[in-house]
Copies of this chain bind each other. A is one copy, B any other.
Amino acid sequence: MSETWLPTLRTATPQDGFDLATKLARIGVKVTQPSAELRDKLRSSYEQDTAQLIASSQVIATHFQTVAAANNYWRE
């Protein structure tokens, strides 16, 4: 992935930050399994496995901590 996909951790709103956290979680899967074709094939399995849905939510939560801190929790 040579293109720029993460120029900054700054976002305008908490909600945009949550979207960014979701993106980071997905990229974390992508770097381990770069084949889009294979990821699509695998998707049907984890989308119906609640344990994996919860695990995905955990990864997002971890990234959201980072993004929220980077934005000083959007306090101003």
Contacts and interface: CB of A to CB of B under 8 A. Distances in A.
Contact of A42 (B14, B26, B33, B53): B53
The A interface is mostly helix, strand or loop, or mixed, namely helix
Contact of A55 (B14, B31, B58): B58
A60 B6 contact: no
Interface string A43-76: 1011111111111111111111110111001110
Given A61-B66, A70-B74, A70-B75, 13 more contacts: A7-B14, A8-B14, A29-B56, A31-B60, A33-B48, A42-B48, A42-B53, A49-B50, A51-B55, A58-B62, A59-B61, A61-B62, A62-B65
10 closest pairs, A vs B, by CB? A28-B57, A70-B73, A46-B50, A61-B62, A6-B15, A28-B60, A32-B56, A6-B14, A54-B55, A29-B53
